[in-house]
Amino acid sequence: MRQNRISRLIQKDLGEILQLAGRDWFPGAMITVTKVYVTTDLSIAKVYMSVFGKDAGDILKQVDMRNKEIRRQLGSRVKNQLRQVPELRFFIDDSLDYIDNIEKLLNT
């Protein structure tokens, strides 16, 4: 239960961080945080994001390079709710591509 609440909190705040700072960091790309999974000990957060407008692989590399800065900004937002900010691990969410592929296969 607490895991889900923390996952939603991190998803909301990371989404806002990547929307606001992402304009400067990743011009021409729109990043959406689609899902966040937090481990049971709350030490690691797996962040899934979808990228529009640019190559997702390049954006993922840039996000990984800015991981410390993103985690610091997240920490300043959630400092009253969490004692320790989990380590962030970013992944590309390809579920939309998967759904498109299934629809194309079903329509042919």
Each residue of 22-80: pLDDT tens digit? Answer: 888 888 888 899 999 999 999 999 999 988 888 888 989 999 999 999 999 999 999 88
Q: Where are the domains of the chain?
A: 2-107
Cα–chain center distance at 58: 15
pTM of the model: 0.83
**CA distance linking residue 64 with residue 25, whole number of Å:** 12
Closest CA to 31 of 95, 98, 96, 92: 92
Tell me the β-bridge partners of 85.
none
Structural contact between residues 45 and 89, judged by C-beta atoms closer than 8 angstroms: yes
CATH level 3 topology of 2-107: GMP Synthetase; Chain A, domain 3 (3.30.300)
What local confidence, expressed as pLDDT, does residue 1 receive? 76
